[in-house]
Amino acid sequence: MATIGLIGGMSWESTAVYYRLLNEGVRARQGGLHSADVLLHSVDFSPIAEMQAKGDWDRAGAAMASSARRLEQAGAVCIVLATNTMHKLADHITKATNLPFLHLADVTAKAIRKKAARKPLLLATRFTMEQRFYRDRLGAFGVEALVPNEAERADVHRIIYEELCRGVVEPASKARYREIVARAAREEGADGVILGCTEIGLLVSQADFDIPAFDTTALHVEAALDFTLAMEQAA
């Protein structure tokens, strides 16, 4: 199959899920001993997280562009950025290479529209929830993403960085996420929930909610497989 270029490490906990799902997906589709053809550049997340916290997005964008160029030079045919938040810097990547970039928000919006949801609650890092880059991209597809209130956003963000990115999964945090989604559905009419940080799927899943849940990691993987396997068939 065509080679997927994966920019990961933000955090490596969710990048490991990407790698597993890519390989499971190829095995399910092609059978036998088939597995995914993947080039992975996994960055050190600590300096990236510091750039995020300081708002040093230009420097973070340069790091993403450098990763994309390395993957292109190594033979990747597309770029998959294994993090929702860093899609804020998608333009840095698309300007740095000539490779197709599979934008996670586009993939997510298409899945939401198939379920006829239009006002999903977005659970993500504070950057993704509070800045417009992600919600505006969803809005271009007719999806009006809601966000939790200020106290809820603080809890969602804290659980991601202090727990999930460190491999910690706490029952109390699962309960808190479920409580936040239930309130939004009850009081604001949320008709779905976007697991809009790649680590959130480590904590909650569709089984935890009565409304449709959109796991962006799983959706991104399926889109990457659709793209690369189609390239293989066309070759």
Active site residue 197: yes
Q: Which of these is catalytic: 108, 197, 198, 228?
A: 197
**Token code pair at residue 91:** 């333009």
Distance of CA 124 to the CA centre of its chain: 9
3-state SS track over 65-112 = HHHHHHHHHHCCCEEEECCCHHHHHHHHHHHHCCCCECCHHHHHHHHH
Active-site residue among 15, 83, 97, 217?
83
- Between CA 212 and CA 204 the distance in angstroms is 12
Q: Report the number of secondary-structure helices (H) and strands (E) in the chain.
A: 10, 6
Q: In angstroms, rounded to a whole number, what is the distance separating the alpha carbons of residues 71 and 3?
A: 10
Return the active site residues. 83, 197
